[in-house]
Structure 1
Amino acid sequence: MKIVIINYGAGNIQSIKFAIQRLGYTAVLSDDPEEIKSADKVIFPGVGEASSAMKMLNASGLQTLIPELKQPVLGICLGMQLMCNKSEEGNTTGLGIFDVDVVRFSKNVKVPQIGWNQITSLKSGLFDKVDDKEHIYLVHSFYAPLCDETIATSEYDVAYSAALKKDNFYGVQFHPEKSSEVGAQILKNFLSLESN
């Protein structure tokens, strides 16, 4: 199985690569459109600020490639947020895969939300063998509100989308590569998904 982690300059890609190695697979880091298109599974990571990350995607031409991918694609953290319509962070236009706008947590809570939180209302094969109310690791100041594409929920000031799914696209707000055995199971499930 060919696993490609999109390397566009805005990701903690080494920790994702190591997490996949721990599952017995090898992942390739690449920004080459042909290599990405030929992958069986694509991981779209992201750490940092939305507008600068989107600029890097636009500069590489990957903003048009990613929404057209047909194999299972997993966006992680900022990667998931960039797959949404837009983000309040830097007033950024996203890839428009998930039909929801990313917003900032209110001033009622400390941001970023850092640490362990529960996920509930789990739907889709991405969460096979994962129990409701399991804990996952998050670091974020912005979130995707609940919507038709929500497949897992978390709560911090408000209930929000901990994961999204549309067709072959999946997104998780949390870091599976830092979420212990639960995160490993979610990555394993993603790698086991059938292509559409």
Structure 2
Amino acid sequence: MIGIVNYGAGNIFSLTSALERQHLNYGMVNTEADLDKYTHIIIPGVGHAGAAMKKLEQTGLVGPIKALKKPVLGICVGMQLLTDHSEEGDARLMGIFPLKTRLFDKNQGIKIPHMGWNNIEHKNNPLFDGVANETQFYFVHSYFIEYNPIFDIATANYGTPFSAAIQKDNFYGVQFHPEKSGTAGELLLKNFSTLTP
């Protein structure tokens, strides 16, 4: 059963709708005690990373989430919260991944935010079981996680290569929105629900 961290900075409706279409049971995580009720945890996120981090800190869930041994998935800003630092608001984040979240460079002739469908190249990882390489996923973001071959499990390119998905132990992150990415995105959510610690 999936627990969705409810800290006021996530697009919960789209996510719960996608989980319901896949017949995946879920509930909301509002307190530390709620974390024990679920086998898998999702941290959704939209908007400003610095503001989202402040909201998450106010819940008292940062330490308990970092201590989890069960599978955790950060989506979009939820993924960025797993990194050390974001240029958005010069914010110190959870520090689970020793990576930085950076602003796209508009001098490369690209529009910011990066919005729309983009294909990804993924590595052989259980999160992407059954998902063809070069499949397109839906992105909406102005900030990206710097590419790092140690943690990168999927790469996209928008002016520069960046991490579309990362993994470290039981922690996963995706920069795209699987809940808005059609069949492939819903398959990814289903795959996440079957991951073991």
TM range (shorter): over 0.9
Aligned sequence identity (%): 45
1:159 to 158, 161, 164: 161
| Aligned position for 1:63 | 62
Deviations 1:133-170 (A, max 9, x none): 00000000000111110000000000100000000000
Amino acid at match of 1:116: W
What is the CA-CA distance between 1:122 and the residue it aligns to? 2.5
Runs of 4 or more, structure 1, over 2 Å off, are none
* Unaligned runs of at least 5 residues, structure 2: none
Instruction: State the alpha-carbon separation in 2 of the partners of residues 27 and 162 from structure 1.
Output: 25
Any conservation in 2 of the 1:84–1:97 contact (CA below 8 Å)? yes
Would you say 1:53 and 2:61 are equivalent positions?
no
Deviations 1:2-52 (A, max 9, x none): 211000000001111111111112211221211113310100000010111
Q: Aligned residue pairs: how many?
A: 194
Q: How does 1:71-90 map to 2 (within 5 A)?
A: 71-90=70-89
Instruction: State the alpha-carbon separation in 2 of the partners of residues 31 and 97 from structure 1.
Output: 21
Question: Structure 1 length as normaliser, TM-score?
Answer: 0.96
* Unaligned runs of at least 5 residues, structure 1: none
Amino acid at match of 1:39: Y
Any conservation in 2 of the 1:149–1:166 contact (CA below 8 Å)? yes
| Aligned position for 1:93 | 92
Deviations 1:63-96 (A, max 9, x none): 2111111110000000000100110000011101
- Of 182-191 and 28-37, more deviation after overlay is shown by 28-37
Question: Structure 2 length as normaliser, TM-score?
Answer: 0.96
| Aligned position for 1:32 | 31
Instruction: State the alpha-carbon separation in 2 of the partners of residues 69 and 159 from structure 1.
Output: 30
What is the CA-CA distance between 1:113 and the residue it aligns to? 0.4
Instruction: State the alpha-carbon separation in 1 of the partners of residues 37 and 164 from structure 2.
Output: 28
SS in 2 for 1:75: strand
Any conservation in 1 of the 2:24–2:190 contact (CA below 8 Å)? no
Deviations 1:167-190 (A, max 9, x none): 000000000000000001100100
Any conservation in 2 of the 1:17–1:26 contact (CA below 8 Å)? no
Instruction: State the alpha-carbon separation in 2 of the partners of residues 96 and 12 from structure 1.
Output: 23
Q: How does 1:1-196 map to 2 (within 5 A)?
A: 2-107=1-106, 108=108, 109-147=110-148, 148-194=150-196, 196=197
What RMSD in Å do the two structures reach over aligned CA positions?
Answer: 0.9
Instruction: State the alpha-carbon separation in 2 of the partners of residues 20 and 121 from structure 1.
Output: 22
